[in-house]
Structure 1
Amino acid sequence: MSTVEPGTPCWADLATPDLADAKRFYPQLFGWTGRVAPEPEAGGYTVFLKDGRSVAGAGPPATPDQVPIWSTYVATDDADLVATRVEAAGGQVVVTPFDVLGQGRMAVLADRAGAVFSVWQPMAMPGAELFNVPGAMCWNELVTPDPEGAKEFYALVFGWQPEDQPVGPITYTGWRCGARVVAGMMPPLQELPADLPAYWSVYFAVEDADATAAHAAELGGTILVPPHDIPAGRVAALRDPQGALFSVTTLR
């Protein structure tokens, strides 16, 4: 069983009020197949597979009023300790740590600006089995109006060290965890939607960002930011038919 290093994004899943439609939309978009958890208490939680290996998940929302959202999970050795650190750093414990059917222990947390993320302490399930190839998660990025506050917060919570670099008119931050840059951060390029004060964006690699964006629209999704070039590749920001935000990128 391969495991992801603590402090590194290891999983992403979708909370959606229309799980049946998500199981239509994403397999057609990314070539995924779905494996539904057999336990009744899992609520139909579905693990998406690419070439037989787990890449992401989808399930019903935790509360009826939750907006449809893709969540980034960061690997940890101790979910309870991370929750304690989040509170001490000025964030919020949205859902206290709990065990997930013997698969792992997780908590749902929010940083000072309200960006929600989760942590995953693996048991039977280590997280995704495939990264950085078409149809798999390849990047996780915090979009926040308070980059300086985020630098303090994530250093206290995960020990991440920020590395800033200018990218056009903005400063882009890479989050270094040990020897690797594991995620990124940027300020919003436009006013954030009211339902997302700050947010973690999940990126999936694709063969062709333009074709994928067009296909997403054909399947009932929305192109939020049309495909464009950045130093790392060509990216587009999309919303699925229920409004959940995600991004796709053609990696260089």
Structure 2
Amino acid sequence: MSGVEPGTPCWTDLATPGLADAKRFYPELFGWTGRVSPEPAAGGYTVFLKDGRAVAAAGPPAAPDQVPIWSTYVATDDADLVATRVEAAGGQVVVAPFDVFDQGRMAVLSDPAGAVFSVWQPMAMRGAELFNAPGAMCWNELVTSDPEGARDFYALVFGWHAEEQPTQPAPYTGWRCGARIVAGMTPPLEELPADLPAYWSVWFAVADAEATAARAAELGGTVLVPPRDTPRGRLAALRDPEGALFSVLTLRPGHTG
């Protein structure tokens, strides 16, 4: 794989204090195998593989009080430039750009509504090696109650253009980067807590959303939103045993998230 185009989600990882539990839960749920980083400073950072290809990872949190969270990484040619744009657009640099060994350069950032995301400037590690297949990331979505602010912010930071898509029961916003819709935006689900701040959600493709949701519950997770039909396929919103939110999607034919 030659890597993902700049401005496109390219990787996801889980920061969690329950790393040992994550290394049990997700392989049993998605059929992943784990490859632990040999670098002592990586703190047991584990890359998950599906059919031998990297799809996601999990590692310890950056701070002891950090809540467990799946992060969306957007590919870039210049992490430092993106961090500068984020500040200029009213966002926050949560973690300033830094090199991750010889793998790449990253930064952790947030938009003005508090949605946290990361950028990845690839070196040895290009990003995920599999997308839109069962057990792999298939979509990334900004959940926010401030869509107008998000439109301005992400246009300045990544050059994205928000496009309304005529879907039912409500219109849906896609983020266009060049010729492609690379991510989405939606208001918060009614089922989620009203005080939940804006966030980026990560979706994984599965062969059967019902079976995956049931299996997640058996493994100690929580089904937040039971499987439901969406324009992209059948979706369920889940939490892992430590509380990290993620979604699973049985893709409709012809859809890639």
Q: Give the shorter-chain TM-score range.
A: over 0.9
| Counterparts in 2 of 1:4 and 1:212: CA distance versus 1, 3 Å | same
Task: Trace 1:136-215 onto structure 2 (pairs within 5 A).
Answer: 136-190=136-190, 192-193=192-193, 196-215=196-215
1:4 corresponds to which letter in structure 2?
V
Give the CA deviation at 1:232. 1.0
Aligned position for 2:247: 247
Give the CA deviation at 1:195. 7.3
Aligned position for 2:66: 66
Asked whether the 8 Å contact 1:170–1:187 carries over to 2, the reply is no
Report how many residues are paired. 252
Q: Cα deviation per residue 1:7-26 (whole Å; 9 max; x = unaligned)? A: 00000000000100000000
- Counterparts of 2:110 and 2:44 in 1: how far apart (Å)? 25
Which 10-residue stretch deviates more, 14-23 or 185-194?
A: 185-194
Pair 1:29 & 2:7 matched:
no
- Counterparts of 2:240 and 2:126 in 1: how far apart (Å)? 27
- Aligned-partner SS, 1:73: strand
Give the CA deviation at 1:79. 0.1
2:118 corresponds to which letter in structure 1?
S
Asked whether the 8 Å contact 1:18–1:242 carries over to 2, the reply is yes
- Counterparts of 1:189 and 1:16 in 2: how far apart (Å)? 24
- Counterparts of 2:155 and 2:250 in 1: how far apart (Å)? 30
Which ranges in structure 2 are unaligned for 5 or more consecutive residues? 253-257
- Aligned-partner SS, 2:189: coil
- Counterparts of 2:15 and 2:87 in 1: how far apart (Å)? 24
RMSD: 1.1
| Counterparts in 2 of 1:167 and 1:182: CA distance versus 1, 3 Å | same
- Counterparts of 1:251 and 1:109 in 2: how far apart (Å)? 30
Aligned position for 2:18: 18
Pair 1:5 & 2:5 matched:
yes
Give the CA deviation at 1:58. 0.3
- Counterparts of 1:190 and 1:147 in 2: how far apart (Å)? 16
Aligned position for 2:107: 107
Asked whether the 8 Å contact 2:191–2:225 carries over to 1, the reply is no
1:102 corresponds to which letter in structure 2?
D
Give the CA deviation at 1:198. 0.4
2:250 corresponds to which letter in structure 1?
T
- Aligned-partner SS, 1:164: strand
- Aligned-partner SS, 2:67: coil
| Counterparts in 2 of 1:191 and 1:27: CA distance versus 1, 3 Å | closer
- Aligned-partner SS, 2:171: strand
| Counterparts in 2 of 1:90 and 1:107: CA distance versus 1, 3 Å | same
Q: Cα deviation per residue 1:210-244 (whole Å; 9 max; x = unaligned)? A: 00000000000000000000111000000000000
Which ranges in structure 1 are unaligned for 5 or more consecutive residues? none
Give the CA deviation at 1:170. 2.9
| Counterparts in 2 of 1:72 and 1:128: CA distance versus 1, 3 Å | same
2:155 corresponds to which letter in structure 1?
A
TM-score by length of 2: 0.96
